[in-house]
Amino acid sequence: MSHLRVELRQRAEELVALYPRPRSAMLPLLHLAQEQDGYVSVEGIAEVAELTGTTPADVRGTAAFYDMLHLEPVGKYVVGICTNIACLLAGGLELLDHASSTLGCSVGSTSDNGLFTLEETECLADCNFAPCVQVNHRFVRTTTPETFDGLVGELREGRRDHDIPVHGTLLRVRRSGGLHASKSEIATEREEAKAARAKREGEKK
Amino acid sequence: MATLEAPRIVTARTGYDDSFTLARFLATGGYEGLRKALTMFPEDVALEVDEASLLGRGGAGFPAGRKWSMLRKSPVSYLVVNGDESEPATFKDHLLLERDPHQIIEGIIISAYALQVSQVFFYVRGEFALGLERVQQAVNDAYEHGALGSKIFGSDFSLDIVVHPGAGAYICGDETALLESLEGKRGFPRIKPPFFPAVSGLYGEPTVVNNVETMSNIPWIVLNGGEAFAALGAGRSTGTRLFALAGRVKNPGVFEVEMVKNTFRDLIYDPKLGGGLLDGHTIKAFVPGGVSAPWFGPELLDTPLGQDEVGEKGSMLGSGSVIVFDETTCVVRAAWRITKFFARESCGECTPCREGSGWIERVMYRMEHGGGRVEDLELLLDLCDNIAPGLGWPPQQTTICPLGPSIPSSVTRAISMFRSEFISHVQKGGCPFD
């Protein structure tokens, strides 16, 4: 019995098929597991291990390396505030402090109602809107304490559900299309191109 | 005054609201470069890029054509595109990914054709959720349009692009760490030699890794010729380049300007570019090329925006990120935060970096927060010397990847340029800017 629900399991199998070696699908699969559970659960790890031909220890060890993958449950909204250099110069540390009191949780923890997790992030590469804020990895471009509180109000009332999916959902665009040719056809194509090139080079000489 | 006559090569389209759509792309010359490339021999496409002398736009500035020519003699297995932009205050690739994904994809397809590769992996930073969605949509549209897949535009060339999301790790911007990550492992940089993925890359096979902005330049080069590209800029720095300007300026943003013909002063002060510092403020120092680069003082504002020009002055153009400090900026706090970043992002593989980054961060923290001592200055320099012996530029390498030797840049420059500010932190028992 698969832990991933049917639709996600199917996407997972499609992902594995995209790579020459199944282990390469590790990060995309961990994102999928996180999309279903909101974090990377023990059951999710077991299924990713099965899909990639690795062990749960391997999967957990890999997941632990990456900041976006949460091995413990987090809030519905993960609020990330950057305090790196460009944001530091624009009041990022002060905004982080303010966010902590508005959300009612310290940096790195989750609010009692389970709605918010607050994170101090490294540079999110949106420095012309410093200090930079992301909710579930969507840029919200709210830079003052006042606009931040407005955003939190909207999130509490569910008024941002249209543009900010729950935590874990990374890609809402599915891959369509693909290379509908067999490996041998491609190999033949390459061989022919190579032979043609060798011939051209021979002629040049 | 800045010299702004050069064509906009990679940002021609970004002003349109719908710049990321296939319709807008096709209406503005999209996929014309690819159509032209497919009528050429692959080696001639590569020759154009070689003639353009396009330096890689990721940070190291290695000539893209030379990277490719290492592989011309042996078949290449994979092209991997690095969209894992994470150097603090660098946000140019982010712009290209969200605003013109088709241009990147066109560049990728042309490059894959030149290299005769049939499989591309496009690694995009995980935090760029919108960028990932736009890139995936653009790839889907390209398949639909016949620009990707079997027999592209009726030619004998076929290609697949897989969009691969990262999951949050600065170190994966290093090409060998990126390859490890793409193999589904922790992002530990690989031991050198071999120095280039061209020798041993993805799954140990010959691989080319190119940056997003590098790819975005390719369609223009093919359409207009390598010579036209090389006519822009000067010396080794040809073409235009994206500069991400951040910090205490009026108009922070990404600007495409011709290389070498403009200076840091132009970038920061020209009304069409940075617009000068925030009202009433004066420049104190600036970072010329990402936080790994040693800082410059205002006396170096007239340095041209060129790879060698900045290198000669003891720093680097790096990732094209310029960060401006003014008189309200506490350099101790700035250097502390930059070091905190490195300490957090050190992968832990090499001892000087793993231990050194945290140690320096703790000393810088206590300096900024009231616990500093005068002898901490010597301690800091000694720690830095252990990571990059001699404290010269470019730094000596004691670690597998360049992250470690990048750590001392900000701390050593902060001390050499603003020693008295450290002393006043010690004397006041806290930050004089608070």
Q: In this structure, what CATH number is given to the domain that contains residue A111?
A: 3.40.30.10
ipTM over the 0.85 cut-off: yes
Token representation of residue B248: 């205490």
Q: In percent, how much of chain B has pLDDT > 90?
A: 94
* Residue A193 contacts B, CB cutoff 8 Å: yes
- Strand ranges, E, within B199-268: 207-211, 233-234, 237-238, 240-247, 253-258
What was the pLDDT predicted at B124?
98
Among B195, B230, B265, where does a domain finish?
Answer: B230
Residue B2 clears pLDDT 80, i.e. is over it: yes
Q: What is d(CA B401, CA B136) in angstroms, rounded to the nearest whole number?
A: 30
Residue A7 clears pLDDT 70, i.e. is over it: yes
* Residue A205 contacts B, CB cutoff 8 Å: no
Tell me how many domains chain A contains: 2
Domain of B102, in residue numbers: 22-230
| Secondary structure, 3-state, A77-120 | EEEEEECCHHHHCCCHHHHHHHHHHHHCCCCCCECCCCCEEEEE
Are A69 and B167 in contact by the 8 Å Cβ rule? The answer is: yes
* Residues B213 and B154 placed together within one structural domain of the fold: yes
Q: How far is CA A121 from CA A9, A148, B27, in A?
A: 31, 16, 39
Helix or strand run (H / E) with residue B360: helix B351-368
Are B123 and B83 in contact by the 8 Å Cβ rule? The answer is: yes
Residue B126 clears pLDDT 90, i.e. is over it: yes
* Closest chain B C-alpha to A157 CA, distance in angstroms: 23
Question: 10 Å Cβ neighbour count for A153?
Answer: 11
Q: What is the pLDDT of residues B99-124, one digit of tens each?
A: 999 999 999 999 999 999 999 999 99
Least confident interval from A98-107, A182-191, B70-79, B85-94? B70-79
Kind of pairing, strands A133-135 and A138-139?
A: antiparallel
- A185 Cβ partners below 8 Å, 6+ apart? B150, B158
Q: What is the mean pLDDT of chain B?
A: 96
Tell me how many domains chain B contains: 3
Q: What is d(CA A198, CA A191) in angstroms, rounded to the nearest whole number?
A: 10
Q: What is the pLDDT of residues B179-230, one digit of tens each?
A: 999 999 999 999 999 988 988 999 999 999 999 999 999 999 999 999 999 9
Residue A181 clears pLDDT 80, i.e. is over it: no
* Residues B247 and B321 placed together within one structural domain of the fold: yes
Q: What is d(CA B394, CA B314) in angstroms, rounded to the nearest whole number?
A: 8
* Residues B162 and B203 placed together within one structural domain of the fold: yes
A1/B395: higher pLDDT: B395
> Using the beta-carbon criterion (under 8 Å), do A170 and B132 form an inter-chain contact?
yes
Are B108 and B267 in contact by the 8 Å Cβ rule? The answer is: no
Q: In percent, how much of chain B has pLDDT > 70?
A: 99
Q: What is d(CA B75, CA B119) in angstroms, rounded to the nearest whole number?
A: 13
Residue B71 clears pLDDT 80, i.e. is over it: no
What was the pLDDT predicted at B73?
66
Residue A201 lies in a domain: no
Are A197 and B42 in contact by the 8 Å Cβ rule? The answer is: yes
> Using the beta-carbon criterion (under 8 Å), do B168 and A192 form an inter-chain contact?
no
Q: What is d(CA B323, CA B247) in angstroms, rounded to the nearest whole number?
A: 5
Are A164 and A155 in contact by the 8 Å Cβ rule? The answer is: yes
Q: What is the pLDDT of residues A31-56, one digit of tens each?
A: 999 999 999 999 999 999 999 999 99
Q: For an interface test with B, give the residue of A11, A19, A27, A71 to mutate (most B CBs within 10 A).
A: A27
* Residues B212 and B361 placed together within one structural domain of the fold: no
Q: What is d(CA B33, CA B13) in angstroms, rounded to the nearest whole number?
A: 15
> Using the beta-carbon criterion (under 8 Å), do A197 and B42 form an inter-chain contact?
yes
Residue A114 clears pLDDT 80, i.e. is over it: yes
Residue B209 lies in a domain: yes
* Residues B160 and B256 placed together within one structural domain of the fold: no
* Residues A22 and A47 placed together within one structural domain of the fold: yes
* Residue A117 contacts B, CB cutoff 8 Å: no
Are A103 and A156 in contact by the 8 Å Cβ rule? The answer is: no
Residue B154 lies in a domain: yes
Instruction: Give the CA-trace dihedral at A134, A136, A137, A143, to 10 degrees.
Output: -10
Are A3 and A47 in contact by the 8 Å Cβ rule? The answer is: yes
- A148 Cβ partners below 8 Å, 6+ apart? A95, A98, A99, A102, A133, A142
* Residues A15 and A84 placed together within one structural domain of the fold: no
Domain of residue B417, CATH code: 1.20.1440.230
> Using the beta-carbon criterion (under 8 Å), do A175 and B136 form an inter-chain contact?
yes
Domain of A140, in residue numbers: 77-156
Question: 10 Å Cβ neighbour count for B149?
Answer: 19
- Name beta bridge partners: B82: B123, B211
Which residue of A lies nearest to B118 if distances are taken between CA atoms? A186
With bands split at pLDDT 50, 70 and 90, how would you rate the model's confidence at A185?
A: confident
3-state secondary structure of B131: helix
Domain of residue B104, CATH code: 3.40.50.11540
Among B326, B341, B371, where does a domain finish?
Answer: B326
